[in-house]
Amino acid sequence: MFKPALAAVLVASCFSATAEDIEHISIYANRTATPQQDVLASVTVLERDDIVARQANDLPALLAQLPGINLSRDGGRGQNSGLYIRGGNTGHTLVVIDGVRSGSATLGYKTLSMLPLELIERIEVVRGPRAALYGSDALSGVIAITTRRAGAVELNANIGSYGQAGTDISVRHTADQLILRATAGVSRADGFNVRKDLDPDRDGYNQKFIKVAADYQTRLGLWTAQADVNSGFYQFDTAWGTEDEADTLNRAYLVGWQQQLGQWHHQAQLSHTLDSDATFGPDSRSPFVTGRDEFSYQAATDLTDKLAFVGGVNWYQEQVDKSATAYEQTSRINRAAFAGLNYQHDALQLEAAARRDVINQYGGQNTWQIAAGYQLTEHWLIRASRGSAFKAPTFNALYYPGFANPELKPEESLSDEIAVVYQTDVLTAQLAWFDRDVTNLIQGVEQAENVLLATIQGVEFSLTQQWQQFSSRFSYSWLETENGTTGEKLERRPENTINWRGSYDADLWSVFITSDYQSSTYQGAFASVANLGGYTLWGLGGSYQLTPQLAVRANINNLFDKQYQSSAGYTTAGTNFGISVSYTPQ
């Protein structure tokens, strides 16, 4: 049940606090660089300084601090985690890394638990459908990640509870029109026993990662190339079989080009990605390796001083390179074209976009979105939007032997949002209402079927404020979901969620305190516990600039050692600490 007293305390504390004085730019919401306050959608942007300052243990923990996002974990760092944006399934969020669609073609989504924060420069989260610009999977939102673009040499090292330790280095070299960058690191942890009713062992992980990139400016445009490799190993506990360890490997290679030709800005990108996860035990090994080749091109221009256009094409081929069981089909191709318009005149802003996707061996799908905003006064904005979205059936649903159903329809949604925004130099507040109907949800035990209608609606309130050296970020989400077949709530979606972070920044040091609350969650009819209780977690941290080159940071999570679960049966971390050091030579 929601605790209004906690909400009142946190809201009151917000009024002594702060918005950052750096203007955030949204790159992915409209596929063109747009000031965040001019985007007619709910967007959160975290730059590298924001990511470092929050001192999150891993990427899922960081994202769970943001408005409209809930997290369900099967243990600790490295183990499986489910991320739900505005009540959507994990597979209803598209993850884009450096502009490239990412994730497993068999699972149908990107696992984030082994994507290191040390490799991330920027995160942009768009809440709400974006299929009209990005195609399949963007039903509930888009998480767009930009990998490290180091501006200088930087060394980092960290240690923490449960045997956590890691180190990474980033370097940059400039020669005339050529810029070379590289980031590499290693990380590991002993972990803790995530299922005490199963193996009496610790479930840890280790990984190593590297990125190398080059930018070359010529008269013919800016050319870019990069390669990312992230490999690792993690342990887990399961009641199904004896396989309780896994090797992972993710590789991405891309080349890109962009150029301003007259009034038109052109950009193109070609990429190849590989996603590999092989679980194993004493008696067996189950590899799943998928790949994706992708090409995208887009052009943008101002048609008039009030009307802007963006449009392009997108092609990608997904394939199953290796699997524990042979699939009936191992490859498919998606071809798409999209276009969008943005109109601004005085206080009125209008947006529209549409996209056509055609998938061989499956069919075509049209998606669209429209939005309108009106600046009521200098500080008040009201906006409304409606959009359709879809998710194409995964390889598992379409082609896996014994489970496949080639007659499956896509999962589809229709979403509405109305928001009011108040913004000044020191305060930004947003109240948003959203509603989404999802049809043809794919489920099945013996065979995949389109069986489910789900309804999702909710309210998000966020407040960011700054007063001198004090700052605060507060968000509250209310969510109501219903499985149209059973009448039950959707699994692992709490009705109420609160996130608060207050900080004080001095010349050489800073401190922060966090509080995160979520109400009880329905775990499903087949879970070991049908309903899990709500919980509140507190955190504390700080940093100190020892010298202009050397900084130290420390934090404590789950300050009061709360015993809780976000996934039935799976233990979560108790009180734990982390210490990190950063060195940047001058």
**H-helix or E-strand containing 319?**
strand 307-323
HEC sequence for 380-429 = EEEEEEEEEEEECCCHHHHHCCCCCCCCCCCEEEEEEEEEEEEECCCEEE
What pLDDT does residue 78 have?
84
**Mean pLDDT of all residues in 28-43:** 92
What is the pLDDT, as a whole number, of residue 37? 86
3-class DSSP string for 496-544? EEEEEEEEEECCCEEEEEEEEEECCEECCCCCCCCEECCEEEEEEEEEE
CA distances from 65 to 17, 59, 252, 473, 501 (A): 17, 10, 28, 10, 9
Listed by start position, the domains of the chain span 4-583
Residue 5 has pLDDT above 70, yes or no: no
Cα gap 489→456, rounded to integer Å:
10
pLDDT of 66 higher than 50: yes
When pLDDT is cut at 50, 70 and 90, the band that residue 445 belongs to is: low
Task: For residue 133, give the 3-state DSSP assignment.
Answer: helix
- Identify the CATH assignment for 4-583 out of 2.70.98.50, 2.102.10.10, 2.40.170.20, 3.30.70.20: 2.40.170.20
Per residue, the 3-state secondary structure of 190-218, as one string, reads EEECCCCCCCCCCEEEEEEEEEEEEEEEE
Bridge partners, 11 (sequence order): none
Of the candidates 29, 59, 69, 64, the one whose C-alpha atom is nearest the C-alpha of residue 45 is 29
| pLDDT tier for residue 80 given thresholds of 50, 70 and 90 | confident
- Average pLDDT for 437-450: 83
The answer on pLDDT for 478 being more than 70 is: yes
Mean pLDDT of the chain: 92
pLDDT at 261 over 90: yes
Measure CA 118 to chain center: 15
Determine whether 378 is exposed, middle or buried from the number of CB atoms within 10 Å of its CB (0-12, 13-18, 19+).
exposed
Pairing label, strands 93-97, 141-147: parallel
What CA–CA distances, in Å, run from 564 to 88, 509, 534? 23, 33, 8
pLDDT confidence tier of residue 23, bands split at 50, 70 and 90? low
Query: What is the 8-class DSSP label of residue 2?
Result: -
Sign of the Cα torsion 427, 67, 417, 481 reads negative
Distance CA 36, CA 34 (A): 6
| Per-residue model confidence (pLDDT) at position 107 | 87
Contact 394, 362 (CB under 8 A): no
